[in-house]
Structure 1
């Protein structure tokens, strides 16, 4: 079976558990998931599926999750993980690349929407990639420790998570201002429009398969529209604030609002389907 099939089969089994057993097993499952960047994804999902399948059979004899797995699920999970095949570098790069790719893409969109000519900045994108990998690695490590941590330790971990996120976002927002303009490449019109439109279309088609990812389409479209509007106002020599400031701001805010609305709706739908 593939990783996706293992995940779906595990989810189906967990839904048959009692509410208390679901909560216990979900913590155990989350713990394995946060170890995902250290170990082979398919092997982890197969292991979690086997655990769910074994308990599903045991629960028929009246055993609870605590009876079957014990009072120390973290210790049990750690013992299992010791024998799991590792692939830390590949997985950290994979998840870091996803985060970095999203950041770089929206940076390009923002530049396209706010600048008359698109300028590619390789050193900035390299920095985005490094920061993304570091942030993902630290967050996975902290979130994994959070699951079975004691209450006092949880507070410290929450603070650490906030600090990591804060440093990451501040670095992304202001960090590029301190980098030298090394190897910058200007993409003249209309090639910048073709480049961004093509990349956006490809990303939209790719995201359309997933309901949660589909919500990102609206911010993408709003930035694209603002970029087209910006180029049109420059070509027409329009300088009034309504067309150059107010309207672009309204378009981007509307795109973000629709994104949040679709995301909240998808979360509620998912919660209803899981019977929560």
Structure 2
């Protein structure tokens, strides 16, 4: 059974857990899945074995703490040490997919805005490739930083009796807003340099649509 099927089966089986056992197991699951250096296939196989073991114990009247112990983080770290790391998850394609979606929507929105505004005002459709590449790198760095920060914050919040969910959500929102504001300021004051070419509204809309369609087809081919 491949990783995708294992995840689907895991989701179905978890519904049979008691609330207490589900909370314990879900923390284990998230913690292990956040280790992107591990083999996804092997990780999902181990998670399924743990879930089956927990379901068997639950039928016998045992809790997750009875089966796996009072130190779930330590137990998870021990499991991680024995999981193979040679087949790394596709973290770069994951980030690339997010950036591709952002780029596609930005180009489509740009095309629509230019189409709507052009009858009423002069619209500058000239594009400077060098400046665009610099802006793209800045946005990519911001996206990567934000994703890594959120993953680390989620990881730190696991295995706690009392979670400060509201506080963590506010911190994540503040970091995201502050980062986006910084990116917009950099974009605003970044000087335009190098050669330029005309990139009309329809070309922008077309390229954005092609990017999003390519991302959609890629997901379907991979079975995501």
Equivalent positions of 1:42-121 (< 5 A) are: 42-86=41-85, 91-115=90-114, 116=123, 117=125, 119=127, 121=132
Distance 1:14 1:199 in 2: 36
- Does the 8 Å CA contact 2:38/2:84 hold for their aligned counterparts? yes
1:190-230 deviations in Å (ceiling 9; x for gaps): 54443234334445666799xxx9xxxxxxxxxxxxxxxxx
Please list every run of 5 or more consecutive structure 2 residues that lacks an aligned counterpart in the other structure.
Answer: 115-122
Q: Which residue of 1 aligns with 2:208?
A: 196
Question: What TM-score comes out, normalization by structure 1 length?
Answer: 0.62
Say which SS state the counterpart of residue 107 (structure 2) adopts: helix
Say which SS state the counterpart of residue 192 (structure 2) adopts: coil
* 1:16 maps to 2:16: yes
Give the alignment partner of residue 126 of structure 1, picking from 116, 119, 137. Answer: 137
Distance 1:151 1:23 in 2: 12
Question: What TM-score comes out, normalization by structure 2 length?
Answer: 0.75
Distance 2:40 2:89 in 1: 11
Distance 2:89 2:219 in 1: 23
Bigger proportion of residues as helix: 1
1:243-275 deviations in Å (ceiling 9; x for gaps): xxxxxxxxxxxxxxxxxxxxxxxxxxxxxxxxx
Distance 2:95 2:173 in 1: 18
Say which SS state the counterpart of residue 5 (structure 1) adopts: helix
Please list every run of 5 or more consecutive structure 1 residues that lacks an aligned counterpart in the other structure.
Answer: 214-276
Q: Which residue of 1 aligns with 2:32?
A: 32
Distance 2:164 2:18 in 1: 29
Q: Which has the higher contact order (CA 8 A, sep 6+)?
A: 2
User: Residue 150 of structure 1: CA displacement?
Assistant: 6.3
Q: Which residue of 2 aligns with 1:2?
A: 2
* 1:41 maps to 2:40: yes
User: CA 1:69 to 1:89, structure 2 compared with 1: closer, same or farther past 3 Å?
Assistant: closer
Root mean square deviation of aligned Cα = 3.3
Q: Which moved more, 1:128-137 or 1:112-121?
A: 112-121
Distance 1:153 1:82 in 2: 29
